[in-house]
Structure 1
């Protein structure tokens, strides 16, 4: 039997692994990515809800005030409350220093613009509706900004 030769074949490699089901590491990576996405969505939804609550608080407070002068006074009061949460010393600012704080380094809408009416508009007997509405719109955006900075 020495003369009988067996046909030799090359080494057979196993088939490449399929893509499904993924290895456990891929499942962990997918779970971690989903968890991060869930946290990001939850934080965004929470911020939007808080912002809507602050907007409705501001609007309801202004709606309860009778007349433009009272609305300006209420807007000023809400701004002082929001500023007090950020820094208790800020609520003690008066006059131009208060307006510069409200500008917040983003223009001069309060110190040189429509927001100047917040200085004494709440104490005036009569205030025109248009400047009061513009000042309240500025106050609303600054109020929301101050509340978002609050932690």
Structure 2
């Protein structure tokens, strides 16, 4: 008689689970980490670019202040400040939104960064009017310089409107 136990074979265990390929959750985690790294890098680059632009704009503003203190030419001050504001605005936003603006439209665009009407109805108005005034006629240069400095600081902190 045949022994039924002799027909049994040893138990074969399956191979050990390999670490490769990872489970789908690990692939998703890797993808999310890569996307987060790219977004963080982009944010830090934009922030650094804005800070560099702000620092150079403030240096230029200091140069304009010194030049005005030496020459006391208000029309030149207004022209230089307008050029500075336009360079900063073009650097921060889409060029086509800013480059063609002149006169009242330019002042309204500058006001859109501030929560007021300092450019269209305040000391900033002379940015477009100073070229047409006699050289002897002066405005409040300190108020204009302070307004431009406040605009630069505001835009450096929040560039969402540009």
**Which category describes the TM-score, using the shorter chain as reference length?**
0.5 to 0.7
2:114 is the counterpart of 1:99:
no
- Residue 79 in structure 1 maps to residue 85 in structure 2: yes
**CA distance in 2: counterparts of 1:143 and 1:76, whole angstroms:** 15
Structure 2 CA distance for partners of 1:146 and 1:89, relative to 1, 3 Å: same
Show the counterpart of 2:25: 26
Task: With the length of structure 2 as denominator, give the TM-score of the two structures.
Answer: 0.58
Instruction: Give the structure-1-normalised TM-score.
Output: 0.61
Name the residue aligned to 2:49: 50
Aligned residues: 125
Alignment of 1:64-143 (within 5 A): 64-65=63-64, 66-67=67-68, 69=74, 70-81=76-87, 82-83=89-90, 85-87=95-97, 90-91=100-101, 93-94=102-103, 96-104=104-112, 107-120=116-129, 126-141=138-153
CA distance in 2 between counterparts of 1:71 and 1:142 reads 21
CA contact (8 A) 2:107 2:125 kept: yes
CA RMSD, aligned part only? 3.4
Structure 2, gaps ≥5 residues long: 1-21
Q: Which residue of 2 aligns with 1:18?
A: none
Give ranges in structure 1 of 5+ residues lacking alignment.
1-22
Cα distance, 1:107 vs structure 2: 3.7
Q: Secondary structure at the residue paired with 1:104?
A: helix
Following TM superposition, the consecutive aligned residue runs of length 4 or more in structure 1 with deviations greater than 6 angstroms are 145-148
